[in-house]
Structure 1
Amino acid sequence: MKLLRKILFPFAILYGFITTIRSFLFDKGILKSTSFEVPVIAVGNLSVGGTGKTPQIEYLIRLLSDRYKVATLSRGYKRKSEGFVLADSTSNAEILGDEPFQFYQKFPNIQVAVDANRINGITELLSQKEKPQIILLDDAFQHRKVKAGFYILLTSYGDLYADDFMLPTGNLRESRSGANRANIVVVTKCPKDLSAQKQEEIRSKLKLNCSQQSYFTFIDYDDAIYGKEEKIAVDEIKDEPKLLLAGIAKPTPFFDYLKNEKDECLTFPDHHNFSDSDLALIQSKAQSKKIITTEKDYVRLKDSKLVSQLYYLPIKSTFIQNQQNFDATVLEYVKINLES
């Protein structure tokens, strides 16, 4: 695979040229970006997959939803519906996609919508009788047709955009210079004990401008797993044989947190739609053992025949330091734009 990526280097140069021209046209106003009357916060990345967008969106929901009417708008990756869909009691992961359905289930006090056309999606949300005061755009850093008021760019500690290259040789969707649009850059999935010196080294490598803020977060795992009707402490199940199941971009940390030498790990592609044959395979490997999966996968599997032995492990994004500064910056942006 590495050799193939190197062979495809000329295509990476071409792709980089095309995306750079596109960004230039948007920056100069030759291609139109649409702004909206409400604060719009876009969360995304420069690379494909695995930077922790979902826990970051959930962090923002927790920060904002007690103060304001919040809506999330996602593409709804791999959903089986089309166009604009506003989540309601009839919704499921097939209609919304796994991550938006997860938002809907966890945060009943917000609006959750999906639409590949973000302009149409925002317009539809603002036409609702109970229209949101704030819209969180999920995975929309490259969606230049919408001009968000605030951009949060995520880059993973183990795969910094500064060390990466354009697709297909690397994993970047656009040039590293695209990071200049960000108001805040969050380095995700860091070690909990990341030193101040290492943080400064990373900031230097990212080459942020003087107006940009940077923060460092780690993935914090819950101390319990959750099933349909029960909660069990991780310490109670750590040593028992179990099947660990993940259909996410980078499952290794999830496996490492739970597994012992008696466990079996089963991996599926990110956003995987589980078929009947997949369920049969999972059941045959699990037998009577507990099946522990990610929260994102659980929303796809919770109505399946596996439910009696199925559990999930929640995660959240936690700041190593300066969380109050991050919160204050986001809240100040929202306050100013709601008052204007």
Structure 2
Amino acid sequence: MTDIVLAHDYLVQVGGAERVVAGWAQGFGARRIVTLAYRPETTFDEFTRLDVQATLSPALATQVERLLPALPSIAARTTVSGGDVALVSTSGWAHRFRFEVPHVVYVHSPARWLYAADDYRLRLSPLRRAGLTVSTPLLRRGDAEAMQRASAIVSNSVVTQARMRAAYGLDSVVVHPPVEPVAPDAAAPTRDLPDAFAVVVARDRGYKNVPLAIVAARTAGLPIVIVGSGSESLDDPAQGVHGLGRVTDAELCWVYREAVVVIGAGREDFGLTVLEAALEGTPAATVATGGYLETVQPGVSGFQAASATADDLAAAIRRARDLDPEAAREWARGFSRDEHLARLARVIEEVVQRA
């Protein structure tokens, strides 16, 4: 059996990429993971069962994003060794680690801080934004050199595959992320929610475009539930906005099941949440861009807005409400974990045989 070592940018949040890596640990029987930072209290419990090698101290792990100017050099000094092959999850850092074994790089997105500056830098101070702008050409050179050292490159979507070609001039194969129910059982959140509501699952990131989702839901006549770290700051029940913050997987499962529709308003490279909701029978209303073009089947699992405006997204919400829940479930089952693991295993096997 191939001994696989995992690598990931940093384990400090509950997000789609972290859920993918947790699935790898179980599916491939991996026992060790190398990362820049680890906060067990703010990420998936599954990682407590692994041997986690984190470069940064627990104190610095709470400030990882503030360390941006130093992270490229810290990543380059993070060594991955042992095992037959490394399976690397990256959207900016882990592919820059120093690998002493062959490594397969699974790309969720080319580094947004370098190649999607308008998305990432919205959250930076003017001084840090200016510093990053000046240093970007040099940082891109080092980033590209690190990516070129990969034994094989896998993109999570056709969108990411195209962005990889644009950013690095490199080809990659597409293996969609695994989609499984987020929990075996549902549990209602501790607070009361409306009988009928839309949901958006998004952390506090500008490119998630939560304000558009809020306005679109209101235009469609629905209150909205927002799930994700930082969303509690948007909580305003009197205006039909229910920011729950971070919730348990069982609570997220309940929200998916009970929602009338899940909204995708941001710029996503894949769009995992609309498929998670579809597995619970909930259709999607999204903007017609990015990964949503792959994860939503119009007229079956949801509808896409004619333009990225509140009125058109509201129209998609109204249409999606009438779709058959079982058809949405059947569509989402096509993105199974077994299929994901089988396709990745073939890539890994080819790399090991060449080594």
TM-score (norm 2): 0.41
Counting strand residues as a fraction of each chain, which structure ranks higher?
1
TM-score (norm 1): 0.43
Counting helix residues as a fraction of each chain, which structure ranks higher?
2
Q: Which has the higher contact order (CA 8 A, sep 6+)?
A: 1
